[in-house]
Amino acid sequence: MIVSSIQDLPLQNISFKTFKLNGFYNLEEWRPILSVPYLLMFLLSTISNSFLIFLVISQRSLHSPMFVLIGLMAFVDLFLPIVFVPNMLLNFLFEWDDISLVGCLIQMFCIHYVGAFQSTLLLWMSLDRFFAICRPLYYHKCMQMSSFLKFIIVPVIRNIILVTTMVSLAGKLHYCLRNEIDHCFCEHMALVQLACGDISINNLVGLLTALLVPTVDFIFITVSYVIIFASVMKSGRSHSKAINTCVTHIIVITGSLVFALMAFLSYRIRNNFSPNSRIFISTMYILFASCFNPIIYGLRTKELREHLLKFINHGKVLPQ
């Protein structure tokens, strides 16, 4: 009787404070090899986004709203992989897989909040293009910082409330099932599903965060680009550049949204995803945008491309 009651104590009274990240663990000896493509993507993201930030900061001619937004996007794309990729590579190569609950929650907040901010930045960039193409006479007035803040304050407050609530609720759970997270980083549902008791509220808040941030932003972005297409076509102006820019933006946005929703919904609906597939999708919704945004928003933007070519040819940026 006494032995039995003692054995029951861990499940009832103990909450794990340290976890192991065992993403792709069943690949065993292939995990070090898997680190190679992730390292290459991390280096591509770090180098390209760092250089893009350097160009925007160093050149006064690029201090307009559109390029400031591109610089902010590059900063987000630089920061997101840094939050989890180095830790993931150390896990693959040396099996350094331990993480505290506090560290896990901090990582979760950084990934989800900065990811939400990335979605909101794309919304701001579509707004910038809307005023530049459809309302050029009002562009400078509406895109001044004092006026622009009116457009962005609601999405920023929305992101803070949703992500903070999601992480706070996860921090209050009692984790007694096991301390192994089937993931390469602290994704919300990967941690929450290890908790004892009812997690329906956590599930609902996580789902609302996915639907009210990237999905809602995507709808507004799509509407703004549809209006831009219609305006350009109706005016009879040369529309190849505008359509080319908007289409490439939508491709990257759609790709990121598909990966994000697949990652969120894979824990909530019946599916045939293997654990490895789920982890791959979750890592890609971060790394996909971080690697391709510098190309879409950097190399395909004429002014930035000119500065880049000048730097490559002469080893310096264009004079101020």
Task: Characterize 44-81 residue by residue with b for buried, 16 or more Cβ atoms within 10 angstroms of its Cβ, and e for exposed.
Answer: bbbebbeebbebbeebeebebbbbbbbbbbbbbbbbbb
DSSP 8-state class, residue 298:
I
User: Which DSSP string corresponds to 182-248?
Assistant: SSSS--HHHHHTTBSS--HHHHHHHHHHHIIIIIHHHHHHHHHHHHHHHHHHHHT---HHHHHHHHH
Residue 3 lies in a domain: no
Nearest to 217 by CA among 262, 158, 282: 158
| Crossing angle for the helix pair 200-210 and 240-265, to the nearest 10 degrees | 170
Residue 282: exposure state from Cβ atoms within 10 A (0-12, 13-18, ≥19) = buried
Q: What is the CATH number of the domain that holds 24?
A: 1.20.1070.10
18 membership: H or E segment, kind and range: strand 18-21
Q: How much is the pLDDT for 243?
A: 66
In this structure, is residue 178 part of a structural domain? yes
* pLDDT, tens digit only, all 320 positions of the chain: 433 333 444 455 677 889 998 888 777 778 888 889 999 999 999 999 998 898 888 888 777 778 888 888 899 999 999 998 999 999 888 888 889 999 999 999 999 898 888 888 888 888 888 888 888 887 777 777 666 677 778 888 899 999 999 999 999 998 987 888 888 888 888 899 899 888 889 989 988 888 888 888 888 888 888 888 888 777 765 556 666 667 777 777 777 777 777 777 766 666 666 778 888 888 887 888 888 888 877 777 777 777 777 777 765 555 55
- Output the pTM of the full model: 0.82
Per the structure block, which two tokens stand in for 125? 């960039």
In a domain, 2, yes or no: no
Here the tokens at position 292 are 């391709």
What's residue 316's pLDDT? 54
Is 111 contained in some domain?
yes
Place of tokens 């404070």: 17
Spatial CB neighbours of 144, under 8 Å, sequence gap ≥ 6: none
Q: Which residue is it, tokens 């760092």?
A: 50
- Count of C-beta atoms within a 10 Å radius of residue 189: 22
Q: What is the pLDDT of residue 252?
A: 72
Q: The tokens 């160009």 sit on which residue? A: 55
User: d(Cα 144, Cα 96) in Å, to the nearest integer?
Assistant: 48
Question: Does 142 map to a domain?
Answer: yes
The alpha carbon dihedral of 16, 18, 19, 20 has a sign of negative
Q: Is 6 among the domain residues?
A: no
Q: Which domain holds residue 258?
A: 16-314
* pLDDT at residue 8, as a whole number: 47
Residue 1 resides in a domain = no
> Tell me, what amino acid is at 313?
N
pLDDT of residue 106: 94
* DSSP string computed for 170-194: HHTS-B-S-SEESSSS--HHHHHTT
Instruction: For residue 67, give the H/E element and its range.
Output: helix 65-94
Number of structural domains found in the chain: 1
Give 299's Cβ-side CA count (13 Å radius).
10
Q: Give the pair of three-digit tokens for residue 246.
A: 């908007």
Q: Is residue 43 part of a domain?
A: yes
Distance CA 139, CA 116 (A): 26
